[in-house]
Amino acid sequence: GQSLEQPSEVTAVEGAIVQINCTYQTSGFYGLSWYQQHDGGAPTFLSYNGLDGLEETGRFSSFLSRSDSYGYLLLQELQMKDSASYFCAPREDDKIIFGKGTRLHILP
Amino acid sequence: SAVISQKPSRDICQRGTSLTIQCQVDSQVTMMFWYRQQPGQSLTLIATANQGSEATYESGFVIDKFPISRPNLTFSTLTVSNMSPEDSSIYLCSVGTKRGVHEQYFGPGTRLTVT
């Protein structure tokens, strides 16, 4: 079967660090993408892990452990503009499957 | 990155009618996709639009309901046929990049309301 789990909501304080976890079970796995979507906007690509380990892109980092079918997105130095929904999306050969998304609330 | 436009941006339609959504890309792309998203919900892949061949539909979506055209490498259309209120949703097209299908750029979406 296929399953994707990520928290529905996370709340953090401006300037802090937050981690959004994702566990997956797919029929064929190539890697894990992360997307950000602001209210009323289109999803935008953040990061991709094709191999185990950490990928860093500015304030955002993403991690993958294939043996644990687990990944996370780490957001540092949180800013109010980071308030959005974040989706993990495993890649299955020629497509990606979106998780249900995690809504990140940031408090001043 | 690719610039993607969609038409219309929104529409209100009566049940039983059909609506065709257009997706235009400013560069030639191999991979184009159509998604559906209820407000506040996840994105569900409807189909992959293949240039020169029939689209590849995901489970739960059929060609009679969601016919797709892909006449060239910069354009695609999605038709929502015989609409019902359950079809009310945001429809998004996206394109893959040279780096792979894992990195997609999305159009702004078409907000459809069926009454």
The predicted structure's pLDDT at residue B38: 93
Share of chain A above pLDDT 70, in %: 99
At CB < 8 Å, which residues of chain B contact A?
Answer: 31, 33, 41-45, 48, 92, 94, 99-109
Q: Do A98 and B103 touch (CB under 8 A)?
A: no
- The answer to whether B35 and B94 have CB atoms below 8 angstroms apart is yes
Q: Is A68 on the interface with B (CB under 8 A)?
A: no
Region B37-60 average pLDDT? 93
Region A52-80 average pLDDT? 96
Kindly tell me if the per-residue pLDDT of B83 is higher than 70.
yes
Is the peptide bond prior to B8 cis by the omega test (within 30 degrees of 0)?
yes
pLDDT tens string A30-56:
999 999 999 999 999 999 999 999 999
Q: Which of residues 25-64 of A touch B (CB under 8 A)?
A: 30-31, 33, 41-45, 48, 50
Q: Do A45 and B105 touch (CB under 8 A)?
A: yes
Whole-angstrom distance, CA of residue A70 vs CA of residue A63: 8
- Residue in chain B lying closest to A95 (CA): B101
